[in-house]
Amino acid sequence: MIFDLDDDKPREECGIVGVFGHAEASLLVALGLHALQHRGQEACGITTYDGNKFHSERHMGTVGENFTGDLTGRLPGHQSIGHNRYSTQGKPVIRNIQPIYADLDSGGFAVAHNGNLTNSRALRRKLVSRGAIFQSTMDTEVILHLLARSDQETVADRFLDAVRQIEGGFALVCLSNKKLIGARDPSGLRPLVLGKIGSAHVLASETCALDLLGADFVREIEPGEVVIITEKGIRTFFPFPARPARPCLFEYVYFARPDSIVQGRSVYEVRRKMGHQLAIEHPAEADVVVPVPDSGVPAGIGFSENSKIPFQLGIIRSHYVGRTFIQPSQTGRQKAVSRKHSPNGAVLKGKRVILVDDSIVRGNTSKRIVEMVRDAGAAEVHLRSASPPIMHQDFYGIDMAERSELLAANKTLEEMRDFLKVESLGFLSVDGLYRAIGIDRDDEKPQFADHCFTGEYPTRLVDHDMNQSGKDRQLSLLD
Amino acid sequence: MIFDLDDDKPREECGIVGVFGHAEASLLVALGLHALQHRGQEACGITTYDGNKFHSERHMGTVGENFTGDLTGRLPGHQSIGHNRYSTQGKPVIRNIQPIYADLDSGGFAVAHNGNLTNSRALRRKLVSRGAIFQSTMDTEVILHLLARSDQETVADRFLDAVRQIEGGFALVCLSNKKLIGARDPSGLRPLVLGKIGSAHVLASETCALDLLGADFVREIEPGEVVIITEKGIRTFFPFPARPARPCLFEYVYFARPDSIVQGRSVYEVRRKMGHQLAIEHPAEADVVVPVPDSGVPAGIGFSENSKIPFQLGIIRSHYVGRTFIQPSQTGRQKAVSRKHSPNGAVLKGKRVILVDDSIVRGNTSKRIVEMVRDAGAAEVHLRSASPPIMHQDFYGIDMAERSELLAANKTLEEMRDFLKVESLGFLSVDGLYRAIGIDRDDEKPQFADHCFTGEYPTRLVDHDMNQSGKDRQLSLLD
Amino acid sequence: MIFDLDDDKPREECGIVGVFGHAEASLLVALGLHALQHRGQEACGITTYDGNKFHSERHMGTVGENFTGDLTGRLPGHQSIGHNRYSTQGKPVIRNIQPIYADLDSGGFAVAHNGNLTNSRALRRKLVSRGAIFQSTMDTEVILHLLARSDQETVADRFLDAVRQIEGGFALVCLSNKKLIGARDPSGLRPLVLGKIGSAHVLASETCALDLLGADFVREIEPGEVVIITEKGIRTFFPFPARPARPCLFEYVYFARPDSIVQGRSVYEVRRKMGHQLAIEHPAEADVVVPVPDSGVPAGIGFSENSKIPFQLGIIRSHYVGRTFIQPSQTGRQKAVSRKHSPNGAVLKGKRVILVDDSIVRGNTSKRIVEMVRDAGAAEVHLRSASPPIMHQDFYGIDMAERSELLAANKTLEEMRDFLKVESLGFLSVDGLYRAIGIDRDDEKPQFADHCFTGEYPTRLVDHDMNQSGKDRQLSLLD
Amino acid sequence: MIFDLDDDKPREECGIVGVFGHAEASLLVALGLHALQHRGQEACGITTYDGNKFHSERHMGTVGENFTGDLTGRLPGHQSIGHNRYSTQGKPVIRNIQPIYADLDSGGFAVAHNGNLTNSRALRRKLVSRGAIFQSTMDTEVILHLLARSDQETVADRFLDAVRQIEGGFALVCLSNKKLIGARDPSGLRPLVLGKIGSAHVLASETCALDLLGADFVREIEPGEVVIITEKGIRTFFPFPARPARPCLFEYVYFARPDSIVQGRSVYEVRRKMGHQLAIEHPAEADVVVPVPDSGVPAGIGFSENSKIPFQLGIIRSHYVGRTFIQPSQTGRQKAVSRKHSPNGAVLKGKRVILVDDSIVRGNTSKRIVEMVRDAGAAEVHLRSASPPIMHQDFYGIDMAERSELLAANKTLEEMRDFLKVESLGFLSVDGLYRAIGIDRDDEKPQFADHCFTGEYPTRLVDHDMNQSGKDRQLSLLD
């Protein structure tokens, strides 16, 4: 069987970038999006305003495939926003690629959104009943319609009016003719940071984007904060009712790039310490520590450092992957083969292997990689997950399996060990994960959103409850 | 110099087709649009409803390039509408191709429109100020928003409510989950006919579309009439204040296909009689009658019949035309050459030629074709236009030059003759044109819209007057 | 049923052009090929030499689709040849598009060929057995290999050596670093003319190409003549054994553009006279003469002139044709419909119609068009073919049906009349065809190649005989 | 400035695969080529023979982009060869993609070639003077022409006759209707291994290809060996004069995938031991060992193991790279930024860094990466190259810089240190490299081709000498 290891990873829906006050705004946004490409590769878009008109390009594929060449000519202007899409919401058609744009009475307005609104269907239903015509199936478009229909006077007030009505996980960058606006949901579920390059302001999902375009990190946008950037500078607002900040742990576990700084901590260092912690919680007698590349590498290094068991590349990752190959049907022996990862026999043969992965979702690919490692001659396989067991779905923009498909939600540890066919299996504990971050979990008021492990959701789930209670009309009748 | 004769023809913005109650609705619509391809080649689209969902495809290019293969599989359903675009309004981007679609509170709704609204900008401005977000720059979208915001109960009433607010030239075919709707503006400026194939109903811009898809002609939709077709049959409405019918003369002069029947008259026959009339009004001593192909052929045949001067193909038309060739800069002699038309020397050499064209707009290509004919050896050139002098702009969907560019609006007959370098020049008179149709013009209440020749517009021109009075805000800030 | 009238026309394989001594050689070649587009639309190619290197582009599709924009930049040089392909020989893949090119010991050499060699398979077999590697399945490539292997000294002598070995129908234009070469087979089966623009020389299949690029006609290349054009001027050779000239009649009947001059006669005039002759040989009592457009129009005009029966456009031809539409399967009535031609009811209804076509090959589409005309209301249909009955295959580059499919080869006149369901049927006689040209046929030594009508082939048919005698190995093992 | 680290790596021209006797031969070849994608990403091709005809597809881009879907349907047959191209020889046009094919007198024959012939221009010149016409500019085509013109009887003898005439570095897989042929040059400069899957035989450049398609490794094809595989089994020949085997060291240093076994040794292990050796030869006081990913990782791990200095990912590699971005011109600070690699500040800040790369060619990107690491806060940078200084060009298929551009060929160690701006610089010695492999260099008869480091070329260089002595005619006059 042929498989992709990444098939069973959680998926994030977006990376966003905004630049205000730079002659090459679109080029900086493109570089920032390129640095954030790991957050979404399905599509990307950039919108600019040149003082007179808005310009926009939206394409399927990556930034490097689409936004090269004379960008400043194609997308002129000193202010720009951009978006990488992964995507849970809406089909992969051009009209569902962001930034989305509307000509409002007050002028043009564009929005790019990372996250997922938990009450967007309820809001959409209400708006349509009042005559709104939606051009996409994206939850993001709700924000535009709320803005268009607000009875507030100024664009700033209309925006605050609109975001007060939405719930869920969101980081937004928006562009009007005079403003770059950034916003983060009250729990801070989705990330957003502020930077500066010369006199220009930059907003981005992660610090690694600031690094690539040469901007200095200023600070994180705070949970619940709205910043409005104009020629006169930055104004800040907190339009939401006060609520404890609970940034999402998955940025540390999987999403953020290892060279990013999240909540003041190096992602690489946190992951390495997750490896330390894992070695403490689930040691094993073994000859070699082998990471599942690339995301398991820092925890693998950490595990090796703590256990003194040598770290080796027992699995090699290919950089060349295209569409899926058909499975050969008549090959003599049936072997687990991945078109993306290959076992390195010289490292594995006859060895007791500690296999370190960042997380286990459905478990199918973990099962196959264990089989692949064993086929390559490993004497024992001890599987270690650098994240706690994933027991619950996310509703804030992370695309994982349905609950019924989550391995840890449906099997005991022993059953999982049997299913995965490993000598031993260990998951980092929730407390251990907090410890890797450098704090103790406050069980009364947890400092992070850890609902996927604990079931403790930080917000209401309006659409989900509505959907559970009865049947929801389909979002669009157009196929 | 290289030129295209068609560069200087009036341009129509659309052909439309609708089918209700046929298992291969989308295929019939495609065939109908193919028959109407002369009304617009820039883009085309088809929308269907399959009892559960709407399906839509919109493409740049012709029907034959896009809507072939397994259409019924791609666009399933027993009801369908389609559209060929030429286009004055909105840029040639996918979002400006029709049919346009919206998910309304009452379900899906699609619109295809031939014509031009004369108060769309005023309506759009009002709608945007009330929070409407437009997805296109097409005037047609105004109709959707009026419908979405109507406080009437049923889709039928909402549609009637919406069309009562629009002015100008329009033939519409619309599709809801239960209905096919057809509508024609109160003056009947744009054409629409009703046909039947088996038990299925068909709406189309011209009868030639009915012919190609094998439908029988039932009747024309009347000026100001709305027909609502459901499974129960056809209901008819006249929602507009009474107003004299004035169908557009240009269907006879240039737009309609010669094999179509318009207002009960064969277009081919009318054009042939325009040739008869022209021979009566502007005879000439000559050896040969040469039409400018293809549109000048029927009038050429008519001129020959009446004058007894032989009809010959003195100009050959090529069927193979792609993008424009660069002009060779260093060719020895500078000749007028057309990549689409070639002079047939054997017919022209040493002859006194009567050159018959359907109309003269700016005059530049007429000038070049005269030069080409003379270069090929013609002894004399007598140019005859089968339409009267074009002196005024149209605002109902015909794309001609600005008034300042119209030859007849800016020059006397003598000046035109000098400019075109012909031995004699004759235009059919307005009365002669009516006579070719078989009636006498009623100067109090003209039976047709002949404003391009007479300046007598059949409606108010709201947007035009607004635009003249002050400056209008641009329709979209997005480039 | 949906059909294309052109589906049953004879097909020519090429148009060729060459220019020597002009700064915009490739642009002139492109214009010439555009004028010759009717000779082949499948593919086209242009090769130039810039004094240092050869440049070449070959594309699927028409000249207007491919060779526009800055041609002189893309294909620089003062000498150039080009080719339009229709094609019988070789699959429509890039390597089978001409001009074909080889780096010979003496330098680069490119060939463009119109026609078909009758001994190419025999020659190819011999060359391959001596180690030649063919890059295409085109017979034209044989010429390159013969040239490459000639033991003559100069390129001119090697070319003469090569063409002496080939048989069949050919017009060639070739390009070396110092020469433009033109050649025509000893019978003159395929056409080639010489022109001049300023000091530059031009070779082309037809005079209409000279007209479009603004060149003056100098003379036809004679049957069996080779012209070698260099900076010093034109040298002429007659390398073949003497043989009577017999140009192909089909240039008059179908292939050549009506505005071309072939063998000193206007093609349009010959066709008109074919109509005269046809009216004399096969008169009919009727109301209207209707041509099958476009190729039947001149003969239709001629028939009308001679018979005094009015000429009318009873069939309208659409300019918009793309890929084939699927046939609707459930349309109530089964009608013959063409996506390219429509009946003009106003002309046909109740009328006795003389339908004039240029030729009848298989007869299937003639049958359908008769049915279409009758469905539109014609009272009687009298079909007239402006060419004699086609009884035999061509082997010199005209692609018609197999003999077993040719209508006239397999049915008596009465059987054909029954099959076509017409009131009367008439074919122009072979003598009548010669008379339309202005001469009497010399039955001992016919002045033209008329083998398709008479079975008298002007040359040996080496490959055909070899193929008949035993089985020939397939030309290429590569699919 | 924006740069790609890989811009300055040596480039290999190919990976090759052949399969004989398997119902899904083309699919296995595609999987094998996918595993060998690191050897060439510019283009790829697969040829099969289905018992009756050959089938071939050649495309620009990677295997995963082109050879997916129903391969066995598109490319049927039980025998197949394939090729990945990188490429020094010939332009990236379809006709220069392999396998190349010819219809020979004996039937079809296809060749795929990894390497470079050192006398191909001399052979080509001779062949062209004897009338051969080349379809490509690839040296590989010479082999086909030699085969076509051989006066031997059988295909096997003709192949042996042909390869005896070529010199240089080559691994070949060839396909005739009855045979799969593999060949390796007498020095064994390019690699080729034999495997088995069920009863089918497999040839491939590296063992990692056998692993992915599930085949067992049988043995390496020996230097100078030709294997001819038919239904009856494998025959082996040694057609070349005896000559010492000298496989190319660069397979260990850079080309081969780490999980491949080359000459009986794990590439990963050799690279790790190169790191050990490097730590012995060039130790440094430092805090952290940072590899340049991905190729520097095994040597980095080895360096860390031997030096006990911690191994950390101080540079992060992005998987998302498309076309080149334009450089922003007005960014305030001018920083070295790579779109492919990012510094991991948390690891580098304030640290003394040992930076381990696999090799240094021109030195420009090494210079930039040092700058990037230092900008990220490194206190000291000690650069270590796991290969010896590259002083000489290769002529056997490795594409590196011209000698005048090679850093080590033009600067002393001290000058290089200055240029690269590092605290210290160390290259592995040639002896150390042999030691990492596990042997001592025999200076009389070196066991490997190490000419890039030592200048001792294993063969004559016919074309190179010819080129030096006079001026060579350009290979093709066609641009």
Query: Are there at least 3 beta-carbon pairs closer than 8 Å between A and B?
Result: yes
What mean pLDDT is predicted for residues A184-198?
97
Chain D residues whose beta carbon lies within 8 Å of the beta carbon of residue A212 = 337, 339, 342
Distance from the Cα of B370 to chain C's closest Cα (Å) equals: 16
pLDDT above 70: percentage of residues in chain C: 91
Contact between B132 and A148 using a beta-carbon 8 Å cutoff? yes
Contact C326 B198 (CB under 8 A): no
pLDDT tier at A473, thresholds 50, 70, 90: low
C7: nearest Cα among C420, C409, C462, C399: C399
Q: Which H or E run contains A356?
A: strand A352-357
Q: In this structure, what are the phi and psi dihedrals at residue B74, rounded to the nearest 5 degrees? A: -75, -40
Contact (CB<8Å) B325/C27 = yes
Q: Is the pLDDT of residue A141 over 90?
A: yes
User: How many CB atoms within 10 Å of residue D19?
Assistant: 33
pLDDT digits (tens, 9 = 90+) for A19-67: 999 999 999 999 999 999 999 888 999 999 999 999 999 998 889 889 9
Amino acid letter for position C281: E
Reported as a single tens digit per residue, the pLDDT across D195-212 is 999 999 999 999 999 999
Is C310's Cβ below 8 Å from some Cβ in B? Answer: yes
pLDDT digits (tens, 9 = 90+) for B255-297: 999 999 999 999 999 999 999 999 999 999 999 999 999 889 9
Supply the pLDDT for residue D11: 60
Q: What is the residue-averaged pLDDT of chain C?
A: 90
For B53-66, what is each residue's pLDDT tens digit?
A: 999 999 988 898 89
- Give the mean pLDDT of D32-38: 93
The answer to whether the CB of C35 falls within 8 A of the CB of C212 is yes
Report the pLDDT value the prediction gives residue B330, as an integer from 0 to 100: 44
D459 Cβ contact partners less than 8 Å away, ≥ 6 residues apart: D118, D167, D168, D187, D396
Measured between CA atoms, how close is B46 to chain A, in angstroms?
12
Catalytically annotated residues of B: 14
Structure tokens at B88: 């004055």
Q: Could B333 and C38 be called an inter-chain contact, meaning their C-beta atoms sit closer than 8 Å?
A: no
Q: Fold for domain B10-246?
A: Glutamine Phosphoribosylpyrophosphate, subunit 1, domain 1 (3.60.20)
Examine chains A and D and say if they touch (3+ CB pairs below 8 A).
yes
Q: ∠ CA(B364), CA(B367), CA(B369), 5° rounding?
A: 110
- pLDDT, mean of residues D159-177: 97
* Cβ–Cβ contact B177 with A under 8 A: yes
User: Which residues, numbered 227 to 256 in chain A, qualify as contacts with chain D under a Cβ-Cβ cut-off of 8 Å?
Assistant: none
Higher pLDDT, D108 or C467: D108
| Residue A294 preceded by cis peptide, ω within 30 | yes
Peptide bond before residue B191 is cis, with ω within 30 degrees of 0: no
Residue D471: is its pLDDT beyond 60?
no
- Chain D residues near residue C153 by CB distance under 8 angstroms: none
State how far the alpha carbon of C110 is from the alpha carbons of C115, C140, C179, D320, in Å.
Answer: 16, 11, 11, 44
For D95-108, what is each residue's pLDDT tens digit?
678 999 999 999 99
Query: In the sheet that B233-237 helps form, which strands lie side by side, from edge to edge?
Result: B100-104, B107-117, B168-176, B180-184, B226-230, B233-237
Contact B326 C70 (CB under 8 A): yes
* Whether the predicted pLDDT of D326 surpasses 60: no
C128/D104 touch (CB, cutoff 8 Å), yes or no? yes
Sign of CA dihedral C216, C222, C223, C227: negative
pLDDT band at A1 (very low <50, low <70, confident <90, very high): very low
Distance in angstroms (rounded) separating the CA atoms of residues C47 and D283:
62
Domain D267-316+336-448: top CATH class: alpha beta
Residue C178's pLDDT band (cuts 50, 70, 90): very high
Instruction: Give the sign of the dihedral formed by CA C421, CA C422, CA C424, CA C426.
Output: negative
Flag whether pLDDT at D337 surpasses 80.
no
pLDDT tens-digit readout, A428-444: 999 999 999 999 999 99
Q: Which amino acid is it at C256?
A: A
Q: In degrees rounded to 5, what are phi and psi of residue C2?
A: -105, 135
- The count of other CB atoms within 10 Å of the CB of residue A402 is 9
Which chain D residues are Cβ-neighbours of C145 within 8 angstroms? 131, 133
CATH 3.40.50.2020 domain residues, chain B: 269-316+336-446
Domain B269-316+336-446 class in CATH: alpha beta
- Residue D354: beta bridge partners? D289, D382
The closest CB to that of B68, out of C31, C38, C323, belongs to: C323
- Best of C80, C175, C477 to mutate (most D CBs within 10 Å, chain D): C477
Q: How far is it, in rounded angstroms, from Cα D43 to Cα B458?
A: 64
Instruction: Evaluate whether chains B and D are touching (3 or more beta carbon pairs less than 8 Å apart).
Output: no
What is the average pLDDT across C180-187? 97
What residue has token string 């050689």?
A: C25
CA distance C465 to chain B (A): 38
Contact call for D27 and A318, based on CB within 8 A: no
pLDDT value at position C29?
97
Q: Does A178 touch chain B (CB under 8 A)?
A: no
Distance from C-alpha of A29 to C-alpha of A15, rounded to nearest angstrom: 11
Q: With an 8 Å Cβ cutoff, are D342 and A30 in contact?
A: no
* Residue C184 bridge partners (DSSP): C171
CATH 3.60.20.10: which residues of chain C? 2-246
Examine the pLDDT at B401 and tell me if it is beyond 90: no
Put simply, whether A64 touches D (Cβ < 8 Å) is yes
Q: What confidence category does residue C334 fall into, taking pLDDT thresholds of 50, 70 and 90?
A: very low
B337 touches chain C (CB under 8 A): yes
More confident residue, B454 or A339: B454
User: What pLDDT was estimated at residue D353?
Assistant: 98
pLDDT at residue A333, as a whole number: 40
CATH of region A2-246, choose from 1.10.132.20, 3.40.50.300, 3.60.20.10, 3.30.360.10:
3.60.20.10
For residue C102, which residues of chain D lie inside 8 Å, CB to CB?
A: 133-134
Determine the distance in angstroms separating the CA of B246 from the nearest CA of chain A, rounded to an integer.
34
CB contact under 8 A, D148 and C131: yes
Model's pTM, two decimal places? Answer: 0.88
- Among C19-33, C448-462, D46-60, D83-97, the minimum mean pLDDT is found in D83-97
Three-class SS state of A392: coil
Count of all residues that appear for chain C in the document:
479
* Arithmetic mean of pLDDT, A222-249: 96
In this prediction, does ipTM exceed 0.85?
yes
- B90 pLDDT above the threshold of 60: no
D468, with CB counted inside 10 A (0-12, 13-18, 19+), is exposed
Give the chain D residue nearest C177 (alpha carbons).
D477
What is the dotted CATH code of the domain comprising C266-317+336-454? 3.40.50.2020
**Residue C217: other Cβ atoms inside 10 A:** 15
Q: How confident is the model at residue C86 (pLDDT cuts 50, 70, 90)?
A: confident
Q: In the annotation, is A14 catalytic?
A: yes
Considering chain B, what percentage of its residues have pLDDT values greater than 90? 75
Which pLDDT belongs to residue B87?
56
Question: What is the greatest pairwise CA distance in chain C?
Answer: 73
Q: Are D296 and D356 in contact (CB under 8 A)?
A: yes
3-state secondary structure chain B: CEECHHHHCCEECEEEEEEECCCCHHHHHHHHHHHCHHHCCCEEEEEEECCCCEEEEEEECCHHHHCCCCHHHHCCCCEEEEEEECCCCCCCCHHHCCCEEEEECCEEEEEEEEEEECCHHHHHHHHHHCCCCCCCCCCHHHHHHHHHHCCCCCHHHHHHHHHHHCCEEEEEEEEECCCEEEEECCCCCCCCEEEEECCEEEEECCHHHHHHHCCEEEEECCCCCEEEEECCEEEEECCCCCCCCCCECHHHHHHCCCCCEECCEEHHHHHHHHHHHHHHHCCCCCCEEEECCCCCHHHHHHHHHHHCCCECCCEEECCCCCCCCCCCCCCCCCCCEECCEEECHHHHCCCEEEEEECCCCCCHHHHHHHHHHHHCCCCEEEEEECCCCCCCCCCCCEECCCHHHCHHHHCCHHHHHHHHCCCEEEECCHHHHHHHHCCCCCCCCCCCECHHHHCCCCCCCHHHHHHHHCCCCCCCCEC
CB C184 within 8 A of CB C193: no
Higher pLDDT, B400 or A267: A267
Average pLDDT, chain A: 90
Asked if the model's pLDDT at residue B5 lies above 50, the reply is no
Q: Where in chain B is the domain with CATH 3.60.20.10?
A: 10-246
Q: How confident is the model at residue C68 (pLDDT cuts 50, 70, 90)?
A: confident
Q: B71 CA to chain C: closest CA distance, Å?
A: 8
pLDDT(D85) > 90: no
> CA nearest C125 in D: which residue?
D105
What is the pLDDT at residue A471?
Answer: 56
Q: Which positions in chain D touch A71 (Cβ < 8 Å)? A: 326
